[in-house]
């Protein structure tokens, strides 16, 4: 008969593994949210510039008619 | 930009739920492995992320083919989404493997065929994003991305079969492995539940992230188009 041995204490590595998993997952999710927010801001700004450009382009043609 | 579709909101919630269940199964439900101890629990997420990572790279190669045939930018947006999520998952796979290897192999890293092919695969897809950034023309960038993912996709099956084709110390838990492998174990029924649910959970999470990332890619394409319109 072999004596029954308890498995080695490797719990610190297990904790490290799951901490790393959740940290990387959180960093990726935050990066998605930040990029999404920045793109929305860019979209709003660019749409405003486009509208402004259109208005400027329409103004001279109205003045010419007058 | 359109608000989130209800189906995507449901998928978001489902992803959080399946991740919570997978964590419970891996950390509490599955029994402690008799030889390796608690660190063996890392295996459930290691395989789950590897599964989605490698399948995602193959999926991206398929999307590359579709782009080359259809020449529609939406397939490039989907390809980028697949590669990005897969690269993140595969990075986690490599890091979890390294943490597991420290107490089991007594080293953080060794140039074993599986570890080497995995590292090369990850580097190939990190380079993908760096090279894409250097191309300004959206059509040229998409064409380059499609060809690159098509060629890069070959690395996924090579990585998967590395432990079945070459002499290696990396364990093969399902199917026979090399007798020199260190850290092999037989799964109990409870371990199998945690294992297969992990695969399911990471598949759901991948689909959810993929959909969200595609929406972001579509928004980025609109912004880029608007910038080009304003410049000309």
Q: Which of A32, A46, A53 sits opposite B212 (nearest CB)?
A: A32
Instruction: Using an 8 Å CB-CB cutoff, list chain B residues near A38.
Output: none
Instruction: Using an 8 Å CB-CB cutoff, list chain B residues near A44.
Output: none
Q: What are phi and psi of B41, to 5 degrees?
A: -65, -20
Domain ranges of chain B: 9-29+37-231
Residues 6+ apart with CB under 8 A from B146: B63, B64, B65, B67, B68, B75, B76, B79
Q: Which of residues 19-38 of A touch B (CB under 8 A)?
A: 20-21, 24-25, 28, 32, 35-36
- Give B2 to chain A, closest Cα distance, Å: 11
Q: Is the pLDDT of residue A58 over 90?
A: no
Question: Which chain B residue is nearest to residue A14, measuring alpha carbons?
Answer: B39
Of residues B161 and B24, more confidence is placed in B24
CA distance A57 to B115: 61
Query: Does residue A45 sit at the B interface (CB-CB below 8 Å)?
Result: no
Q: Is the pLDDT of residue B76 over 90?
A: yes
pLDDT tens readout for residues B171-202: 887 666 566 667 777 788 999 999 999 999 99
- Give B221 to chain A, closest Cα distance, Å: 10
Contact B36 A10 (CB under 8 A): yes
CA distance A38 to B129: 19
β-bridge partners, B33: B37
Mean pLDDT over B210-219 rounds to: 97
Q: Quickly list DSSP for B38-80.
A: GGGGHHHHHHHHHHHHHHHHHHHHHHHHHHHHH--HHHHHHHH
Query: What is the reported pTM?
Result: 0.90
Contact B216 A10 (CB under 8 A): no
Contact A10 B39 (CB under 8 A): yes
Contact B36 A8 (CB under 8 A): yes
Q: Which of A17, A36, A49 sits opposite B216 (nearest CB)?
A: A36
Q: Is the pLDDT of residue B167 over 80?
A: yes
β-bridge partners, B37: B33
Q: Which of B209, B223, B230 sits opposite A39 (nearest CB)?
A: B223
Out of B65-69, B153-157, B226-230, pick the least confident: B226-230
Widest distance between CA atoms in chain A: 108
Q: pLDDT band at B157, cuts 50/70/90?
A: very high
Check residue B6 and give its pLDDT: 95
Mean pLDDT over B79-90 rounds to: 97
């Amino acid at each position: 008969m072999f004596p029954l041995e308890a498995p080695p204490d490797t719990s610190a590595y297990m904790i490290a593994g799951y901490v790393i998993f959740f940290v990387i997952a959180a960093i990726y999710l935050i990066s998605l949210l930040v990029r999404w927010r920045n793109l929305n801001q860019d979209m709003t700004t660019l749409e405003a510039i486009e509208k402004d450009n259109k208005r400027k382009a329409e103004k001279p043609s109205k003045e010419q008619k007058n | 930009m359109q608000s989130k579709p209800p189906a995507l909101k449901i998928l978001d919630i489902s992803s959080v739920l399946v991740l919570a269940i997978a964590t419970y199964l891996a950390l509490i439900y599955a029994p402690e492995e008799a030889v390796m101890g608690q660190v063996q629990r890392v295996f459930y997420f290691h395989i789950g992320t590897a599964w989605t990572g490698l399948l995602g790279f193959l999926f991206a190669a398929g999307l590359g083919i579709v782009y080359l045939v259809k020449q529609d930018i939406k397939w490039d947006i989907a390809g980028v989404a697949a590669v990005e999520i897969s690269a993140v998952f595969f990075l986690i796979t490599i890091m979890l493997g390294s943490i597991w290897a420290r107490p089991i192999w007594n080293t953080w890293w060794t140039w074993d065929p599986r570890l080497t092919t995995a590292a090369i695969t990850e580097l190939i897809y990190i380079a993908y994003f760096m090279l894409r950034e250097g191309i300004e023309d959206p059509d040229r960038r998409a064409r380059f991305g499609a060809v690159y993912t098509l060629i890069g996709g070959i690395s996924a099956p090579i990585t998967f079969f590395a432990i079945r084709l070459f002499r290696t110390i990396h364990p093969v838990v399902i199917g026979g492995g090399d007798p020199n492998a260190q850290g092999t174990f037989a799964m109990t029924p409870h371990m199998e539940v945690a294992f297969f649910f992990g695969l399911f959970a990471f598949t759901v999470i991948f689909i959810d992230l993929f959909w969200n990332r595609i929406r972001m890619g579509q928004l980025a394409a609109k912004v880029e188009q608007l910038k080009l319109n304003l410049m000309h």
